[in-house]
Amino acid sequence: MKREEKASISMIKIISVSIILILLSGIGVMAVNTNVKDVKVILQNGYELTVLTAKSTVEEILDENSIILGENQKTIPELKEEVESGTIIKIVDKSYTEIQIATISEEGVQTTLEELLNSYAPITEKIVKQNVEIPYETITKNATNTTSDNTSKVIQKGKNGLKEVIYKVKYQNNIEIEKIQLSETIIKEPVDKIVQVTKNVTSRSNSTTRATTETSSKPVTQTYKVTAYCPCVKCCGKTNGVTAMGTKAVAGRTVAASSKFAYGTKLNINGHTYVVEDRGGAISGNKIDIYVNSHAEALAWGVRYLPVSVINN
């Protein structure tokens, strides 16, 4: 009887071991068939999560672990890419880029850790002020109405102006990568170069040719830089419309000119008569400011180069 009991116990042990081996084999086959992968997920805040998954794409793994991307977030690799065991999934800001590393990997370029770190150096911004020259313009005044047998004479030398330009500049590794102009301010207006063309005439006394300026009963006409101003604070620093001469400024009559023109001088500007009644800090040389009623009119006038002559009463 004891022998039969021992035989029965041995048989039970054999059956139990066999069942365990079968179960272990099934689990192994199932693991192979489901292709379980070891994947690491790094959140944007730096938190790391290691998961075992049978999912094949980044998107499926995030869904499986209830990880939801924000509007300004993306993943590296991208959501639709398939992953392998050992893959690291990063959740980063959309502005983050790994273009250079990908390029290095694709091209098989050998590089150092230092070079890679330099590629991802922080970008710094600076506000930079620069003084930039404004080139002067050359104005030619031909009083002869001909193109031959003439002599040119410079009656006003040109001078470059100056402006202050403010830029926002981005640097990476002390190298300029972007430059955006924010504003510019005129420090000094350029002075135009004026060239007068005169006609060569022959002297009757000695039959030699000499250059003279044609004279006639007509007044001398010169080209001036003509701008406009109005009675606002921006243009005049006041709003009462009273001129430096003490008169009330009138559109179509009042002009501001340099001190070489006395108050009350009448000027013919492109066929229209104006009166010098005002001065201005920026009015010098061959520059005249005509008075208009509004700032919009002043801006619309812009800068014009017009013939100007003194009207002799």
pLDDT tens for each residue of 238-257 = 778 888 888 999 999 999 99
| pLDDT higher than threshold 50 for residue 216 | no
| pLDDT higher than threshold 90 for residue 176 | no
The whole-number pLDDT of residue 288 equals: 93
What residues contact 166, with CB distance under 8 A and at least 6 apart?
Answer: 127, 128, 129, 181, 182, 183, 184
| pLDDT higher than threshold 90 for residue 222 | no
Tell me which of 101 and 19 has the higher pLDDT.
19
Structure token digits, residue 183: 């504003």
The whole-number pLDDT of residue 219 equals: 72
| pLDDT higher than threshold 50 for residue 5 | yes
| pLDDT higher than threshold 80 for residue 25 | no
| pLDDT higher than threshold 80 for residue 209 | no
| pLDDT higher than threshold 80 for residue 103 | no
The whole-number pLDDT of residue 280 equals: 81
How far apart (Å, rounded) are the C-alpha atoms in residues 31 and 10?
Answer: 32
The whole-number pLDDT of residue 195 equals: 81
By the 10 Å C-beta count (0-12 exposed, 13-18 middle, 19+ buried), 39 is classed as buried
| pTM for this prediction | 0.34
The whole-number pLDDT of residue 210 equals: 46
Least confident residue range of 24-28, 72-76, 161-165, 270-274: 24-28
Q: What is the mean pLDDT of the chain?
A: 79
CA 182 vs CA 10, 22, 127, 132, 175: distances in Å: 92, 76, 9, 14, 20
Structure token digits, residue 110: 């050998």
197 — pLDDT class (breaks 50, 70, 90): confident
Tell me which of 30 and 280 has the higher pLDDT.
280
| pLDDT higher than threshold 70 for residue 206 | no
The whole-number pLDDT of residue 105 equals: 46
pLDDT digit string, tens, across residues 257-306:
988 889 999 999 988 999 999 988 778 778 999 999 988 898 988 889 88
How far apart (Å, rounded) are the C-alpha atoms in residues 281 and 23?
Answer: 100
CA 69 vs CA 74, 79, 92, 95, 98: distances in Å: 7, 10, 9, 14, 19
Cβ neighbour number for residue 66 with a 10 Å cutoff: 6
By the 10 Å C-beta count (0-12 exposed, 13-18 middle, 19+ buried), 233 is classed as exposed
The whole-number pLDDT of residue 175 equals: 85
Highest mean pLDDT among 76-90, 192-206, 208-222: 76-90
